[in-house]
Amino acid sequence: MQKKPDYRALVYGVVIGLAAGALIMYALFSVHPVHIARGTTDNLTSVNIIYYNNFTQHIYSGGSLTGFTMPIGSTYTYNFTIDYYNYTYSETVYSIGVVDSAFKIYSVRPSLPITISPRGRANISLLLLSPNYSYYGPLNITIVYRKSLNGS
């Protein structure tokens, strides 16, 4: 008499494999935006600016700016303005960076640090390098600054 195969081990293996695959996919796509598009451009849906204030350890979002499209693996000059509405303190910007490591900042103009006087404005120009694959999603920029009284 021939023994029937035990399919329980096979079913358990398949279930565990599917669960592990789903977990890996979740981990990959929850950390980074989906990079599945097969085009020849990077479509940045928006530019989000996140400010870190060393003076009060306050973190806040500067809002969302208009996105743009650029060819993959190319450079792009992105310009934006920081309007500073405080009447008393100056603001010194010490660093500007990108959160998604797929993008690189080649240069910042004017050179850092940049001091903005009360009720002042700074026009910033970033030279960005895009990744060598098609990207669809936001670009998150971080700005680290410090407030100071009378330029101190």
Provide the edge-to-edge strand list for the sheet that holds 136-149: 58-71, 41-53, 136-149, 89-98, 114-116
Confidence of residue 35 (pLDDT cuts 50, 70, 90): very low
pLDDT above 90 coverage of the chain, percent:
14
Overall pTM surpassing 0.85 (yes/no): no
Name which residue leads in pLDDT, 2 or 91. Answer: 91
Residue in the block written with tokens 């990207």: 135
Q: What is the pLDDT of residue 36?
A: 45
Whole-number pLDDT of residue 126 = 92
80-86-89-93 Cα dihedral, nearest 10 degrees: -20
